[in-house]
Amino acid sequence: MKIIFFNDIIYDYALNAPGATGGAERYAWLLLRALAADGWSVTVGVRNVVPPGETITVDGVQFLGLDGGHVLRVWYKVLRSERPDWWLWQCADHWWGPAVEIAKLVGVRTIFSAMHDMDFRLRHALSLHPKLWPMYAWGLMRTDKIFVQHSQQLAELSPGWRRKATVLPGVVTPAEDATAHSCRSPYVAWVAMLREHKRPDLLVEVAKRCPQVQFVVCGGVSRHRSQAGYSEQMLSALRALPNVDYRGLVPPEQSLAVIARAAALLSTSDSEGFPSTFLEAWTSGTPVVSLTVDPDQLLKNEGLGLLSGTIDQAAADIQCLVGQVALRETFGLRARDFVIRRHSPKAVSKLFRQSLPA
């Protein structure tokens, strides 16, 4: 089977470049790499990073340099020349409507993969050109397959769309081992871009309530889904706190190392899909403390961390975990076992293949 995907950013993840950002892009790279390891032919169309017409292969994934010109013309040309079985698309975008029609014209089947809970709240799904949501909705209606991240997203689909949808867990490469919590520095990790919906302002409030706890923060400034100046304001607030070690935008492997050695990972986001940072924490045996986000109630039902609900409770939960090594070890063992069973590359690629229509 052959699958194609169009995205420039995941090339940075393939190279572990310092500028690699975006949870959706990281998810795509890990998924496509897993499919390649499972025997799929995987092509990623990229602009500007690979010369037009040339290919560079990384971990079995072929990155194909695209020509310039309008994206619809480029997509049509590449689909005709590559002849993939499937075209994978992630995230809400008005271009998905015409993209599906181009694929049908060429005889390529399409997959939409949700990356955020907002993706199926159609009138509010688009961050750019929100009035063009009917084009996006048309694409969802006409696509051949939909993957969602958790059961709540599945429940939000209309019955007609739900019939062609499957929950596909995120991919994470299980860590070979995990640092014992007795050997860790008792700091709390926060890893995300300084965007409004990530709520770094709540991180500031939690850190103020835990003056004896060290916080290590990885993430750069961004205007995506954020007002001008918001990230810079948060940057100043974080740098002003004596118990916050702000490291800025770092290469993916550095942020993974920060999470792997932490006492806990803190999530302050208002909304997500299935955060890749949760998986990265769990595979390292690091429990998660989340204010709001708990996909499929895994923190509660599987015992992989704590859902706090309020700033004060998050501060209390963090201080509890930092002070109780044995409790952290218990959470960590559960988390590592859970990731291996459900989120390993082999488990996800197998489910991906089995879920596609014949």
- In this structure, what CATH number is given to the domain that contains residue 315? 3.40.50.2000
Cα distances (Å, whole numbers) of residue 190 to 41, 203, 249, 264, 334: 36, 8, 12, 9, 21
Is residue 326 packed enough to be buried (19+ CB in 10 Å), middle (13-18) or exposed (0-12)? Answer: exposed
What pLDDT score was predicted for residue 273? Answer: 85
Same domain, 61 and 164: yes
Q: Are 9 and 102 found together in one domain?
A: yes
**256 in a domain, yes or no?**
yes
Q: Supply the pLDDT for residue 270.
A: 87
In terms of domains, do 318 and 350 share one?
no
As a whole number of angstroms, the distance between CA 144 and CA 227 comes to 36
Angstrom distance (rounded) from CA 228 to CA 234: 12
CA distances from residue 216 to 75, 148, 260 in whole angstroms, order as listed: 42, 31, 12
Do 338 and 348 share a domain, yes or no? no
**Alpha carbon separation from 348 to 130, 296, 343, 353, 356 (Å, rounded):** 32, 17, 6, 9, 13
Tokens describing residue 146:
């939909």
- Residue span of the structural domain in which 280 resides: 181-342
Do residues 87 and 226 both lie within one domain?
no
At 224 the pLDDT is 65
Q: What is the domain count for the chain?
A: 2
CB-CB neighbours of 226 under 10 Å: 17
DSSP for 31-96, written as a single string: HHHHHHHTT-EEEEEESSSS-TT-EEEETTEEEEEPPSS-HHHHHHHHHHHH--SEEEEES--TTH
**One domain, residues 146 and 192:** no
Largest CA distance in the chain: 61
pLDDT for 280 equals 93
Tokens of 281: 């924490």
Residues 129 and 208 in one domain: no
pTM for the complete prediction? 0.88
The reported pLDDT for the residue numbered 23 is 79
- Pair (41, 8) in one structural domain: yes
176 assigned to some structural domain:
no
Domain match, 190 and 163 both: no
**pLDDT at residue 147 in the model:** 97
* Same domain for 134 and 224: no
H or E, element range at 5: strand 2-6
Which tens digits make up the pLDDT trace of 168-186?
A: 999 998 888 899 999 999 9
What H or E segment, with its residue span, contains residue 299?
Answer: helix 298-301
Question: Cα–Cα distance between 352 and 167 in angstroms, integer?
Answer: 9
Secondary structure (DSSP) of 194-254: B-GGG-HHHHHHHHHH-TTSEEEEE--B--TTS-TTHHHHHHHHHHT-TTEEEEES--HHH
Run of H or E including 318 = helix 311-323
Strands 244-248 and 214-218: parallel
Structure tokens at 59: 């971990």
Parallel, antiparallel, or unpaired: how do β-strands 41-46 and 55-58 relate?
unpaired
Q: 163 lies in a domain?
A: yes
How far is residue 264's CA from residue 267's CA, in Å, rounded to a whole number? 10
Give residue 226's pLDDT. 64
Could you tell me if residue 236 is inside a domain?
A: yes
Q: What residues are paired with 332 via a beta bridge? A: none
Q: Which residues of the chain are under the pLDDT cut of 70?
A: 224-226
pLDDT for 225: 66
Is residue 129 in a domain?
yes
Please report which helix (H) or strand (E) contains residue 167, including its range: strand 165-167
For residue 150, give the nearest of 357, 294, 291, 28 by alpha carbon: 294
Would 210 be classed as within a structural domain? yes
In a domain, 188, yes or no: yes
Residue 297: inside a domain: yes
Res 196: pLDDT: 87
Residues 335, 351, single domain; the answer is no
**Rounded to 5 degrees, what angle do the CA atoms 231, 242, 271 make?**
40
Say if residue 160 is in the same domain as residue 59. Answer: yes
